[in-house]
Amino acid sequence: MISKSFEIVSQELDLTKRKKQALDDLLASARISQPTYEHLEKGLTETILDLEAQQRSLGDKMTGWADELGEQIQLLELLLANLEIHHATGEIDEDAYDKQNRAILLGIEATKQDLVDIRSILSKTVSEAVPTPSAPTTPETVEEPEQIAEAEAEDTSVSEVEVEEQVEEAVEETVESEIPTFEPTVEQPSTEPEKPSEYNWSA
């Protein structure tokens, strides 16, 4: 179904954009090198552009589908009006009227629900649409040059798999940070030995 495909593409697009943002954050915090960032950023950007194209194509199809559903509703309402006229003039009996009336009303209700669902999906996608973030620039002012230099030296030896794992972890941390955690406070028993009594037992 077009609406299901549209939702899947939208979810994939949102996830890919979050990965791109996590990658940007890794570069900004000097946890990966510029060449590694550029290599991974190229793939993510291409994926985002491809998913956006698919989303637009499916969105156009859904918009056209919504227009067709609107026309179907108008047609069913005209049929219902004609049925009422024929019933009022006695051209059809009660049994035929009841069957046709029930069928048309069910058709109108189902079509209206489909139209509501499609418009809801389209409006949600538009409201959640966020421009693709641009690549961050490497900060010029560094407070601790020695630490940054060591970090960059380590980044050059980091494999692409490790960087992708860092991106995945950054995305997961973003989601987990929204859920508060509570840990009970446990009072630790005293480890200090008891002092001997100062009471004098001598007579």
Amino acid at 70: G
Q: Could you read off the pLDDT of 123-170 as tens digits, one per residue?
A: 877 665 544 444 444 444 444 444 444 444 444 444 555 656 666 666
Using CA atoms, how far residue 106 sits from 70, 76, 80, in Å, is 15, 10, 11
pLDDT value of position 139: 42
pLDDT value of position 171: 57
Could you tell me the end-to-end alpha-carbon distance of the chain, in angstroms, rounded to an integer?
A: 100
pLDDT value of position 122: 85
Contacts of 82 (CB under 8 A, 6+ apart): none
Q: Could you read off the pLDDT of 57-110 as tens digits, one per residue?
A: 999 999 999 999 999 999 999 999 999 999 999 998 999 999 999 999 999 999
pLDDT value of position 83: 94
For 115-133, give the DSSP string. Answer: HHHHHHHHHHHHHH--PPP
pLDDT value of position 9: 92
Identify which of 159, 121, 120, 128 has the alpha carbon closest to the alpha carbon of residue 33.
159
Distance CA 41, CA 50 (A): 14
Contacts of 51 (CB under 8 A, 6+ apart): 9, 12, 13, 16
